[in-house]
């Protein structure tokens, strides 16, 4: 079971610090949904940086860990709803990967709010914005990420 640890401060939030969220969006659904949010002028937090992937199934767990290592405070992965994948079953295989990854990272002590997964379809501009709001808020409450961060 996933437990949320909301309200738990994990590190001092620097003044003027803004969370940096890296979002992996699948090209056919989630990226289009984000685009729709933009075209519809729906306001949502500017904290996400989008990386477009062909399919949520393309996302390798090492991408998420690398993002955290390079300074991201949180990661979001979004794909098509099950049954709607442009490549038929990419998101279905991804679903299993993400379920296990989320459990493993939480087990290791990484706050579950920092690594989040969702499905957003091409017509769900509003849903996309709402999810981004939620993710940014949750990461803001946690403070800057200090796990896996590598200083060069």
Partner 1 sequence: MTEKRIPHTDLDRLLDRLRGLGAVHAPTRDESGDVILAEVSPGKPVVLDYKNFPLSPKVFLLPQTQTLLRFTNGKPHEPAPVAGNGGPSQGDGRPPNRQAFLFGVRPCDARALLALDEVFLGGDQRDPYYERLRAKTVVIVLACTRPMSSCFCTSVGGGPSDEAGADVLAIGLEADLLLRAITPKGEDLLSSAADLLGDATPPAIEEAQERARKAADQIAPVELDRSAERLRNAYDSPLWGILSQKCLGCGTCSFLCPTCHCFDITDEVRGDVVRRVRTWDCCAYPLFTLHASGHNPRPTPKERWRQRLMHKFRYAVENLGRLFCVGCGRCIRNCPVSLDLRAVFRELGA
Partner 2 sequence: MSASHEIETRLRETAEKLLREKRVDLFLGYEKASLPFRTTPLFLTSPEEVKRLAWNPFCTTNLAVYLPRLFKPPADAREAKTAPPPPTVGLVLKGCDTRSVVALIQERRVPREKLMLVGVACPGMVDWRKAERALREHEPLGAGEDAQGNIHVVVEDGTELTLRREEIVADACLECRSPTPSIHDALLGTPVEGKDPEAARQQTAAFEAKPLSARWAHLQETFSRCIRCNACRQACPVCSCCKECLLDQTRPRWVGAGTDISDVTIYHLVRAFHMAGRCTDCGACARACPMGIDTRLLARKVNQEVEDLYGYRPGEALDAKPPLADFAADDSQDFLTEP
Binding site for partner 2 (CB under 8 A): 1-2, 5, 8, 10, 60-62, 65-66, 69, 76, 82, 89, 92-93, 95-111, 116-119, 127, 130-131, 133-135, 147-150
Contact yes or no for 21/72 (Cβ under 8 A): yes
Structural tokens at position 47: 């904290």
Residues 131-150 that bind partner 1 (CB under 8 A): 149-150
Query: Per CB under 8 A, does 152 bind partner 1?
Result: yes
Query: Which H/E stretch holds residue 118?
Result: strand 115-119
Q: Minimal distance in Å, beta carbon 70 to partner 1?
A: 6
Q: In what order do the strands lie in the sheet with 115-119?
A: 48-53, 21-26, 74-79, 115-119
What are all long-range contacts of 11-18, with beta carbons under 8 Å and residues at least 24 apart? 11/142, 11/143, 11/144, 11/145, 11/146, 12/143, 13/140, 13/143, 13/144, 14/144, 17/143, 17/144, 18/47, 18/140
Q: Minimal distance in Å, beta carbon 10 to partner 2?
A: 7
Q: Which does 92 bind (CB under 5 to 8 A by kind): partner 2, partner 1, none?
A: partner 2
Query: Per CB under 8 A, does 12 bind partner 1?
Result: no
Residues 68-87 that bind partner 1 (CB under 8 A): 70
User: What ranges make up the beta strands (E) of 8-97?
Assistant: 21-26, 48-53, 74-79
Q: Which does 8 bind (CB under 5 to 8 A by kind): partner 2, partner 1, none?
A: partner 2
Q: Minimal distance in Å, beta carbon 17 to partner 1?
A: 18
- Output 62 or 152, the one with its CB closest to partner 1: 152
Binding stretches for partner 1 (CB under 8 A): 70, 149-152
């Amino acid at each position: 079971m996933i437990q949320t640890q909301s309200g738990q401060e994990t590190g001092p939030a620097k003044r003027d610090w803004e969370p940096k969220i890296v979002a992996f969006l699948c090209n056919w659904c989630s990226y289009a949904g984000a685009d729709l949010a933009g075209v519809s002028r729906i306001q949502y937090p500017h904290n996400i940086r989008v990386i477009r992937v062909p399919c949520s199934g393309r996302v390798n767990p090492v991408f998420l860990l690398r993002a955290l290592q390079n300074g991201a405070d949180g990661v979001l992965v979004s794909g098509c709803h099950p049954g709607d994948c442009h490549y038929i079953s990419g998101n279905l295989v991804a679903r299993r990967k993400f379920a296990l990854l989320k459990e493993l990272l939480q087990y290791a002590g990484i706050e579950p709010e920092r690594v989040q997964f969702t499905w957003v379809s091409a017509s769900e501009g509003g849903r996309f914005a709402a999810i981004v709001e939620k993710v940014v808020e949750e990461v803001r409450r946690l403070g800057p990420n200090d796990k896996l961060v590598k200083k060069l």
